[in-house]
Amino acid sequence: MKKLISYMAMALACLSMTMVSCKTEEPEGPDKPGTETPTNPQEPDKPAEPVLPKDSTTVYFVNVDNWEDVFAYVWLFATDEGVFPWPGEPATKCAEKFNNLDVYSYKYQTDKADMILFHNKIGLQSPNVQVEPNKPYFYNNVWYTSLDEILENIVNMHNGHEYVDLGLSSGTMWATCNLGASTPKDYGDYYAWGETEPNSSDYGINNYKWSLNGDHNNMTKYCTDENLGKLDNKIQLELEDDAAYVNWGGDWRMPTKEQIQELLDECTYEKTTQKGVCGILITSKTNGNNIFMPAGGYRSLFSNYINQHCVYWSSSLNTNDSRRAYLLFSNLEETSLIHNYNRYYGSLIRPVMSKK
């Protein structure tokens, strides 16, 4: 019995030694502290992390003034640094129109800019405006969430330009802005009577389209006196010479002397100031609606009277003196229809349209 126990003890001892021997030969794993993970030369390199694009913002510009080209200049307000040098980049013309107007889109890197202005690269531009989150549509200097929202806010609209119903007997609607202006307080462009583009040099007789060789007494069109030019007895501007129609299209026209007189008869007018700009506020006696006409004066070789006079062309010729035409005039105290301004002077235009 003792021998059997002795043999069993020896067997257990050998088994224990074998197990210890196997354990010491086991290689240490990579999780063992103090050891380095072996490198497998056959293992391929891990692919580089993808570079994600920066967030971008797309804005849309409704081209209410029918600019031939639309550019966008964007910058960061905090640094006043543009993303691209002036004049910025051209916006992209969209396939669809809005209210018969072209719509342009422009995409930029969101974190690089928070300010924008749109311009036509030849002098006309929108105000500097801050981009508004969730309002990507820019129309008449206001941001909107969608084109549908614009429609909801521009009930009185024709061919891309707003008008006011003053309840006038003739049904004449007056535009809220001058020709060439973006807001009611802006002067806009100056035009000689019967010309459809602003004068690029000066408003003197030598540059007038309808004067022969700069002769004040020799009108080549719109003349009722053969002593003052080529007699044609035309007393109302034809559409091809109506700056409002040529520039805004649709039913927009320069007002006749009768429409100006109606405005004066059926409205009140008072001197006022809007955002630092002097002018007259014309208010309907019928429905209380009003329009503001800034005192942009006029352009000639000798004077302008900016911030002192309101001078707005009609489309009507002075039949007693073909060298002159009718206009609305105000010295901010008195407002009236007058007919003694030279046709070659540069004056402002407030377009009208009729709904009757």
Q: Which amino acid is at 282?
A: I
Report the CATH number that the domain containing residue 148 is assigned in CATH.
2.60.40
Mean pLDDT on 324-335: 95
Percentage with pLDDT > 90 across the chain: 69
Q: Are residues 115 and 219 in the same domain?
A: no
In a domain, 93, yes or no: yes
- In angstroms, rounded to a whole number, what is the distance separating the alpha carbons of residues 126 and 116? 9
Q: Are residues 142 and 173 in the same domain?
A: no
Domain of residue 97, residue span: 56-153
Least confident range of 15-19, 182-186, 232-236: 15-19
Query: Rounded to 5 degrees, what angle do the CA atoms 274, 278, 279 make?
Result: 95
Which of 153, 184, 211 is the endpoint of a domain?
Answer: 153
Q: Are residues 307 and 333 in the same domain?
A: yes
Q: Are residues 221 and 290 in the same domain?
A: yes
Q: What is the pLDDT of residues 207-249, one digit of tens each?
A: 999 999 999 999 999 999 999 999 999 999 999 999 999 999 9
In a domain, 184, yes or no: yes
Q: Are residues 206 and 148 in the same domain?
A: no
In a domain, 17, yes or no: no
Q: Are residues 180 and 148 in the same domain?
A: no
Q: Are residues 188 and 303 in the same domain?
A: yes
The model carries a pTM of: 0.62
Q: Which one is predicted more confidently, 278 or 302?
A: 278
In a domain, 51, yes or no: no
Which of 153, 169, 186 is the endpoint of a domain?
Answer: 153
Q: Are residues 167 and 79 in the same domain?
A: no
Number of domains in the chain: 2
Q: Are residues 204 and 262 in the same domain?
A: yes
Contact 137, 106 (CB under 8 A): no
Contact 329, 311 (CB under 8 A): yes
Q: How far is CA 152 from CA 37, 148, 164, 218, 242, in A?
A: 69, 6, 16, 51, 31
Q: Are residues 302 and 325 in the same domain?
A: yes
Which of 130, 153, 176 is the endpoint of a domain?
Answer: 153
Q: Quick one: which H or E segment has residue 283?
A: strand 277-284
Q: At residue 258, does pLDDT exceed 60?
A: yes
Beta-strand relationship, 56-62 and 137-139: parallel
Q: Are residues 176 and 282 in the same domain?
A: yes
- In angstroms, rounded to a whole number, what is the distance separating the alpha carbons of residues 30 and 206? 96
Q: Residues with Cβ < 8 Å from 296, sequence gap 6 or more?
A: 178, 187, 188, 190, 306, 310, 311, 348
Q: Are residues 92 and 183 in the same domain?
A: no
